[in-house]
Every structure is written in C-alpha cells, then in structure tokens.
Amino acid sequence: MACFDEAPEAGEVSVLFESPGRTALVEALKEHDSVFLCLLDQKSESGKQTLKVLKNALRLVRELSELSTVVLVVDPSQPKEEYLVRNIRAQTRNPQSGDAQPVVALVCGSGRLADVTLGVPSEEQVIDRLQRIYREGGYTDPSRFGEDLLLVW
C-alpha cells in the first residue's frame, strides 16, 4: 500500500511497481538483516570510492559478527527509479543539492530507513551505523527507525 499526498496520475501508479531498485530491495531484505542502498553512478570517481568503502567496511563487519548486510546500487538517473530516489533524497539535509553526489541509505527490517548519508562515507561511519541499528534493535524492531521505503512514496 502506498501513501500519496494527493491522488496520483495514472502513469504514476504503474511506476511504483516497475522500479527495479524497489524490487531488488524487497528481495535483498528477505535474505539479509540490512541493505546499504546506494544511489550513485558506478562509473564516477565518487561512486567507485563509495562502493570501495562500503565493501571494505562490510568485509570487516562480516569477520567480527554474524550480521548480514549487502550493498545494492540503484542508478538515480533511471526514470523507473523516480519515486525511490525522491524518497531517499528527501531524507538528506539538502535534497536539491548534490544530485551527482552518492547517497547511501541504510535500510533495515522490512524497509525502514535507518540512516542516509550524502557523499562518500568513511569506513568508520559505515561500521558505526551498523552498530547503532544493531544496538537500537533495528533488526528486531525496525519500527523504531524512519519511514518505510516500501510503503511511503
């Protein structure tokens, strides 16, 4: 069920169900505790650096715990990702600026936004965010976190 501020146009409703990123997020959350959902251009330097940082941090986390977290990349320039991108960008301090900057959203539970970072995060930030949602019950009680990406558009 999606929630709109006003009645959507006919074309807007179909886009909700055609988002490859949303579909991949649902599948990833079925198998993992959390997902780092990245809005970035994988060919850009900042995109490459973001993925490198995330993969290194997750490798360290996997060595030290049983947490299951994966990285999912969504191309923010794809028209079918309009609503997913808009919802995630709305959580940053300045959603209008930095469209070329990577956005990293930590999603836990059934689709709850636990954290959103604009720009390239550090490994320490990534590990700290995972520890925070673990300590605060993000895996067992995700309702304690932000909006649910899968329900609100």
Label each residue of 118-147 as H, E or C: ECCCCHHHHHHHHHHHHHCCCCCCHHHCCC
How high is the mean pLDDT of the chain? Answer: 81
In this structure, what is the dihedral angle of CA atoms 139, 142, 144, 150, given to the nearest 10 degrees? 150
Per-residue pLDDT tens for 16-42? 667 899 899 989 988 988 899 999 999
At 43, the pLDDT band (50, 70, 90 cuts) reads very high
Token pair, residue 103, equals 């956005």
| Contact predicate 119/112, CB 8 Å | no
- Residue 50's pLDDT is 95
Q: Return the closest-CA partner of residue 103 out of 114, 94, 91, 116.
A: 116
**Tens digits of per-residue pLDDT, 54-96?**
999 998 888 877 778 899 999 999 988 988 888 888 877 665 5
The pLDDT score that the predictor gives to residue 92 is 75
Say what the pTM is: 0.79
State percent of the chain over pLDDT 90: 31
Half-sphere exposure of 132 (CA within 13 A, CB side): 13
CB 31 within 8 A of CB 22: no
The phi, psi pair for 117, rounded to 5°, reads -120, 130
Which segment, 58-72, 92-106, 114-128, 139-153, is predicted with the most confidence on average?
114-128
Q: Name all domains of the chain by residue range, CATH numbers in brackets.
A: 10-144 (3.40.30.10)
pLDDT of residue 123: 92
